[in-house]
A and B are shown apart, each in its own frame.
Chain A
């Protein structure tokens, strides 16, 4: 399968209702006294699209993600399918947005299927809990099939490799069928093979389930290849946004990462990046 073939475009934006997807405007968040993200307005993310949040360490990416997941107090506006979530209960967030942390704890004596069923049974007020026990179990198996790890269903989480565990982690969040899926560095700890597996799966599921995927990614080449849009963050502010070829340029890389780089966007979304030098403080602005 060529890169172009598997890319598949999300449903055309014109055919989507104007309110669909995720709209974030003027969002500020941080810890007790320190504000990390200031007044962030993101482009309108439509269902079926995959977007990446990139930026240097301490740019506020993970903080922004946690705020979007409702895990952290924030001010401003986060609307999912037209519904305002800021100020709502965690339950309201959880029905629409699911957050996947970087990794799944290692020493948990549960098997894969139990962990997915556990994710489904977690919050009783949810519509999910209305399903009967058997329906829940069937649904968990069905998700494992979609993710392609049904043969691992009865393996203990403790005995899985890092890559397999990440797929299980994805199965858990996908099983809740969120409208917005937030992934915190889904490929950081994975080898090349699992990086590709995870990203391909993420995009296919975004298209198939018509959900917005927003992920924090460190590897710009991965971000460019698999995303419909890039948001570049630095010091809690958005520096560049748009399709990969517009957002990742020598100029933005210089100002955000402080490096001199050559950027070559291939015709099929692939990105070649050569970092030549680290710029001094004076040169970056």
Chain B
């Protein structure tokens, strides 16, 4: 009897424990999800702030310049046509606006290309610049500038960007072929990319060696990366490319996030990793080749834009991809504005300035990041 009673008591106590445990679980469950959703909301806010900063940087880029227009005049010129002379109108509409737009678009494209490369190649050092795409573009440009070599149907004005585009695309396709080869891991793709950098640099050096002095000067200026080649045609081409690529890129975000958990794991979740890589490299090639073709080599953005975004928001690609896009555009706009004011009266090639602007931002993020105990 006593034994039965004791057993009964134990059962009751046990069941009470179970009940309180489930109640507790219900509340913790709730708490976790609430704070998770709060974090998601926070990330959305960070994205919005980035977007606003981009807009401000864009305006800053618009109102800086050597021509002595006041910010007020620039904004006035954009909003209405009255009150400004024709040269002033021309400066605003044919120089300032296309330059500023180009800066945003190039920054966004290179940064998006960089983040996709880093994810699919599982390598934090991957970027259009470090894996030979920019070098290939330089080589294409060199061929056009120095030797006048291009395909027959290309008009003379488009020779340089077309060549650069073609070579950049060819280099990505080489990476692509490597990635598709059965048994070739991502490490081999990265190694091949680095090999491409050296090959194309050597080829460019060779072309420089045999070129005339005038052509050499033009080539060196081209390879520094400059927004001064921007016009409405190039701006709209790049805008269209970016607008076409971004939806596909964002659509792949869940699969890209899963790929970060390991290739075999992702495949076992039903993701066709080979296809995901192929499509991502295709997007990268379009973005990087088009931007490099229009503005020359700009090295820093594609590497660091993604890292800034990752430090800010982590690797949930739903947020990482747009954040990379925005941080790239932001740095590039700031760099563009800085390139006009750093040396008074001189418009520096923006490729020189990107690192000078980007590195401080990057270092701030690394050192100011809240240190969490492990």
Task: Contacts A142-B29, A150-B32, A153-B36 given; indicate if A118 touches B268 (C-beta within 8 A).
Answer: no
Task: Contacts A109-B314, A110-B314 given; indicate if A141 touches B268 (C-beta within 8 A).
Answer: no
B265 contact set on A, CB distance < 8 A: 99-101, 104, 119, 172-173
Asked if A154 contacts B262 (CB within 8 A), the reply is no
Per the bound structure, the CA–CA distance linking A24 and B254 in Å amounts to 32
Taken residue by residue from 245 to 277, chain A's Cβ proximity to chain B (1 for < 8 Å, 0 otherwise) reads as: 000000000000000000000000000000000
Asked if B261 contacts A141 (CB within 8 A), the reply is no
Taken residue by residue from 244 to 260, chain B's Cβ proximity to chain A (1 for < 8 Å, 0 otherwise) reads as: 00000000001101101
B269 contact set on A, CB distance < 8 A: 94, 98, 119, 122-123, 176
B314 contact set on A, CB distance < 8 A: 109-111, 114, 156
Residues 140-189 (chain A) with a chain B CB within 8 angstroms: 141-142, 144-145, 150-151, 153-154, 156, 159, 172-173, 176
State which of B28, B122, B261, B268 has its C-beta within 8 Å of the C-beta of A150: B28
Asked if B32 contacts A109 (CB within 8 A), the reply is no
Asked if A122 contacts B264 (CB within 8 A), the reply is no
Taken residue by residue from 270 to 310, chain B's Cβ proximity to chain A (1 for < 8 Å, 0 otherwise) reads as: 11100000000000000000000000000000000000001
B29 contact set on A, CB distance < 8 A: 138, 141-142, 145, 150
Task: Contacts A141-B33, A142-B29, A153-B32 given; indicate if A105 touches B316 (C-beta within 8 A).
Answer: no
Asked if A113 contacts B270 (CB within 8 A), the reply is no
Asked if A110 contacts B268 (CB within 8 A), the reply is no
Task: Contacts A91-B270, A95-B270 given; indicate if A110 touches B183 (C-beta within 8 A).
Answer: no
B255 contact set on A, CB distance < 8 A: 122-123
A137 contact set on B, CB distance < 8 A: 33, 36-37
B257 contact set on A, CB distance < 8 A: 110, 114, 118, 121-122
Task: Contacts A31-B183, A150-B32 given; indicate if A109 touches B266 (C-beta within 8 A).
Answer: no
Q: How many residues of B contact A (CB 8 A)?
A: 35
How close is B278's CB to chain A, nearest CB, in angstroms? 15
B310 contact set on A, CB distance < 8 A: 109
B315 contact set on A, CB distance < 8 A: 108-110
Per the bound structure, the CA–CA distance linking A101 and B265 in Å amounts to 6
Task: Contacts A66-B264, A114-B316, A141-B33 given; indicate if A122 touches B258 (C-beta within 8 A).
Answer: yes
Which applies to chain B's interface (DSSP): helix, strand, loop or mixed? helix
Asked if A108 contacts B261 (CB within 8 A), the reply is yes
A32 contact set on B, CB distance < 8 A: 182-183
Asked if B35 contacts A101 (CB within 8 A), the reply is no
A125 at interface (Cβ–Cβ under 8 A)?
yes
Asked if B268 contacts A71 (CB within 8 A), the reply is yes
State which of A66, A70, A101, A118 has its C-beta within 8 Å of the C-beta of B316: A118
Residues 177-197 (chain B) with a chain A CB within 8 angstroms: 182-183
Task: Contacts A141-B33, A150-B28 given; indicate if A99 touches B270 (C-beta within 8 A).
Answer: no
How close is A95's CB to chain B, nearest CB, in angstroms? 7
B267 at interface (Cβ–Cβ under 8 A)?
yes
Taken residue by residue from 1 to 42, chain B's Cβ proximity to chain A (1 for < 8 Å, 0 otherwise) reads as: 000000000000000000000000100110011011101000
A17 contact set on B, CB distance < 8 A: none
Per the bound structure, the CA–CA distance linking A115 and B266 in Å amounts to 12
A95 contact set on B, CB distance < 8 A: 270
CB-CB nearest in chain A for B263: A101
B374 at interface (Cβ–Cβ under 8 A)?
yes
State which of B35, B254, B260, B268 has its C-beta within 8 Å of the C-beta of A69: B268
A97 at interface (Cβ–Cβ under 8 A)?
yes
A71 contact set on B, CB distance < 8 A: 264, 267-268
Per the bound structure, the CA–CA distance linking A95 and B67 in Å amounts to 64
Residues 82-110 (chain A) with a chain B CB within 8 angstroms: 90-91, 93-95, 97-101, 104-105, 108-110
Per the bound structure, the CA–CA distance linking A142 and B26 in Å amounts to 10
A126 at interface (Cβ–Cβ under 8 A)?
yes
Per the bound structure, the CA–CA distance linking A176 and B28 in Å amounts to 22
Asked if B261 contacts A115 (CB within 8 A), the reply is yes
State which of B28, B182, B262, B270 has its C-beta within 8 Å of the C-beta of A101: B262
B373 contact set on A, CB distance < 8 A: 159
State which of A69, A126, A154 has its C-beta within 8 Å of the C-beta of B32: A154
How close is B122's CB to chain A, nearest CB, in angstroms? 8
Per the bound structure, the CA–CA distance linking A129 and B98 in Å amounts to 43
A-B CB contact pairs (8 Å), 12 listed: A95-B270, A98-B269, A110-B260, A119-B269, A121-B258, A122-B254, A122-B257, A138-B33, A141-B29, A142-B29, A144-B32, A145-B29
A101-B262, A153-B32, A173-B268 are known; give 19 further A-B pairs, CB within 8 A: A69-B268, A71-B264, A91-B270, A93-B268, A95-B270, A100-B265, A109-B310, A111-B314, A118-B260, A118-B261, A119-B258, A119-B265, A121-B257, A122-B266, A145-B25, A150-B29, A151-B28, A154-B39, A172-B261
Please list the residues of chain A having a beta carbon within 8 angstroms of any beta carbon in chain B: 31-32, 66, 69-71, 90-91, 93-95, 97-101, 104-105, 108-111, 113-115, 118-119, 121-126, 137-138, 141-142, 144-145, 150-151, 153-154, 156, 159, 172-173, 176
The 8 A-B pairs of least Cβ separation, nearest first, read A94-B270, A123-B270, A122-B258, A99-B268, A122-B269, A109-B315, A109-B314, A121-B254
